[in-house]
Every structure is written in structure tokens, then in C-alpha cells.
Amino acid sequence: MSFQEWLERVENRSANIGIIGLGYVGLPLTLLFSEQRFRVTGFDIDPAKVNRLNAGESYIHRIEPEHIRAAQQAGFAATVDFSRIAAMDAVLICVPTPLHEDHTPDMSFVVSTMEAIGPHVRPGQLIVLESTTYPGTTEEIVVETIDRMGATRGVRVLRDPDAAERGGVLVAFSPEREDPGNMVTPRREIPKVVGGVSPAAAQAAAALYGTVFDRTVLMSSTAAAEMTKLLENIYRCVNIALVNELKQLCLRMGLDVWEVIDAASTKPFGFQPFYPGPGVGGHCIPVDPFYLSWKAAQYGFPTRFIELAGEVNESMPAYVVETAKSALERRGVALGDASVLVLGLAYKRDVDDLRESPALTIIDLLLRAGAKVEYNDPFFPTVGRGRKYVLDMTSTDLGDGMSELTRFDCVLIATDHSIYDREQIVRQARLVVDTRNATRGIVSEKIVRC
């Protein structure tokens, strides 16, 4: 198939799209392409996910089962059979890129994915990595694996301008820009950044994504596109660290940092509001700074500013626990003897996403201090083995009118889900440690804001 024929298949929606990784990034992307009448095949290593999707069920809160069934009407099906990659015209890789315990990049999911699809990649395909990662990943892992595993079959990634016409594999990078919980901005209105190993690869990726996104932004290389994603999230990380530090200073000075942020936000230029909290969560903000600092070290460049921001944000759960400890001691209760209810496990309001959630770290620290800890979260009836912690806990029923709150020495608001009645929380609890300003406007000696 010529490059022009490939573009025509995209234009007339006859191209077969494969999406690897059916989580918070891959599944919404699947639905976008299905809405545009593409036949999408979803690939995942988790048979339980695959079976649920093929049964028309959803495991992500904001995606309704009818969305899955609508995609099935357009030809969507999920599979664990990676040999079916050979039938795809485009393959989009949306797998996790977490950190090791020492804050170095864990590229095992990308590597294992490439090893799984490598034997099935064929000339004329477009392979796009969407996973957030350090500059150079696409070349170092995706391109290298295709060239190595395809050598005996005459399959390789061609980088020169006429690569597509000569039947090479097209490789690009296009970072995901998902915002879990955002019900305001339609996904298709979020511009799609694209960088190709060759001009033809960039053109192909832009043509494909242009069918589902209103705007594509072409970059000069895959590395530039990879750096763009890191900049976006490190920008947020640094500014969140700034307000987290200012929050602690304002508390010592008797000032309301939220009032200060609101006032600063009235300036029509030169300021964008960021808000403090118990730490940062999700897949990107807690992870991306360390990806870049790790890569920068290979160039002998210390990223002191970025590393400091990461340290400030990582220190916030310990600050929350210390605040709770002090508040309890002022009431004559030692933390080691206290019963604590943590409200909210998700890393942000009204999402069913636990990735890197500071609430998990807070619970772990409380347990280590000897406290008796329970939690409530409407999105997580149970919580078990995670990447960092094994909690093995069940969500506590709050009772009628949150009556169960009365039996705890401390209620700690870690995530301010909209389902929580803040006035009832203050009314029923003996002590409220509020990390999210959920009780703003309520005056009570029970409340400790941190």
C-alpha cells in the first residue's frame, strides 16, 4: 500500500486502528476514533479488562457502558492477542510509564509492548507512542526495537523524506493530554501535538489525529514533542510546589492562602492560579519532573529547580500527618492512639483514579505512626495491592447524616469529592483536618486547615 493509499484509507475511515493499553488514556482515545466511524481494535494484557469491554461494560467512572456499546456498533473489539497487530494500519501505544523507587524511569511497559508487537509490525504501518516519557524514548526504544526485530524480515523504520513511498514503517510520538474529571473541555478541542521520525511519519500522524482532534500541532522531531509534554506537566508541578510552600508560610503568618490566590487571580495578565493540597497525584505531575531530571543528568546538567519542586510536593503528605498529630495532641490524643477517618482516596475530586494519590501515602504514614485508620471513597469500595502500598481496606459507610464520623478522633479530608456534605462533616466530626479547603467559609474550632 502506497503512502497516498494509506492517507486515503484514513480519509475514508477504512483504516484499521489498534490502540494498546485500555486505561485512562487508551479507552477514551478508542471512543474518539470509534465516534468517527473507524474500526478500532483495543489491545491489553489484562484479560479481565478485555472481557468486560467485550461484554459492553466500562470500568472507568466517567465512561458510561453505552459509550462502549456505541463503539462496538462501529466495530470496536478488545483482545489480548497481539498477533492481530499485523492487520492494523495504525498502532497507538498508551501504556504506563511510572517511576522506580529510586525515581528513575520505569520503561518496562513500553519495552514489553514493543517486544510483543515487534514480530508483527509491517511496512506501511504507522506506530505512535503516546506514553509520557523522556526526550529520546521514541528513537531509543520504539525505533530500535522495530529495526532490530524486523531486520530478518526486511522491516525497518525509514527516516528520509520519501520513507513512506518506499514502504518503511512510520513512527511518531504524540503525547496524551487527558484531564480526568474535566467535563467542560471536549477531548477533540484539545490540540494534539505530533512529532515524527520522518516528515512522512509526522504527516501521517497529523492526518490520523486530524480526524478526531480539531487541531494538530506539528513538531520538528519526536524528541521535541516528548519535551513538550514534560514542560506542560513540570510547569504545573513547579507552580503547585510554589503554592504548597506558600500555604505553609501563610498558615504561620495567620493568612488565608486561598484568599491570597483568589485576589491575585483578578490580575488580567501575568498570573495563573494554582492551588495547594496534600501533595500531587495522577500519572503525570508526580512523575514527569524525575523523567527529565534523569535524562538531564546524562548531559551533565543538574535540574535543581525541577528537583526542588518534586521534593516540596513529595513532602506534603508528611506535613499533613504532622499537622494532624499536632492537632490531636492539643486535644489530648496521641496519634498512635487515635482513630482517623480519611475522606477521599482518589488523587483529585470526582475521579476513580488512584495513581500516585497522596491520600495513599497519608494513610501509610498514619498506619506507621500507630493510628487506627479507616477511609471512605465512593469510587473505591475496596483498596488492595498498589504499586507502592498494600492496604487491604474496605470503604467505611458514613451512616445516615454522616453519623459514623462521631466515632473518630479525627476526620482528614484528603480528597474533596462533591458528594461529601462539608457542613455535616464539621457538625459530626470531633476534629477536621482539611487539606483541600473544602470547609472554606465554615467557622468552627473543630477545623484545622493545612
Query: Any idea which residues carry the catalytic annotation?
Result: 284
Provide the grid cell at 393.
481496606
Among 148, 197, 191, 147, CA closest to 172: 197
**Main-chain dihedrals φ then ψ at residue 413, nearest 5 degrees:** -85, 105
Asked if 44 and 19 count as a contact pair (C-beta separation under 8 A), the reply is no
Contacts of 49 (CB under 8 A, 6+ apart): 22, 59, 78
Provide the grid cell at 421.
456534605
- Rounded Cα–Cα distance for residues 7 and 90 (Å): 11
- Rounded Cα–Cα distance for residues 61 and 25 (Å): 13
Asked if 310 and 296 count as a contact pair (C-beta separation under 8 A), the reply is no
Whole-angstrom Cα Rg for the chain: 24
Among 84, 74, 89, 82, CA closest to 37: 74
Helix axes 26-35, 65-73, angle to 10 degrees: 50
Residue 31 CA neighbour count, 13 Å, CB half: 22
Strands ordered across the beta sheet of 372-376? 372-376, 339-343, 410-413, 432-434, 447-449
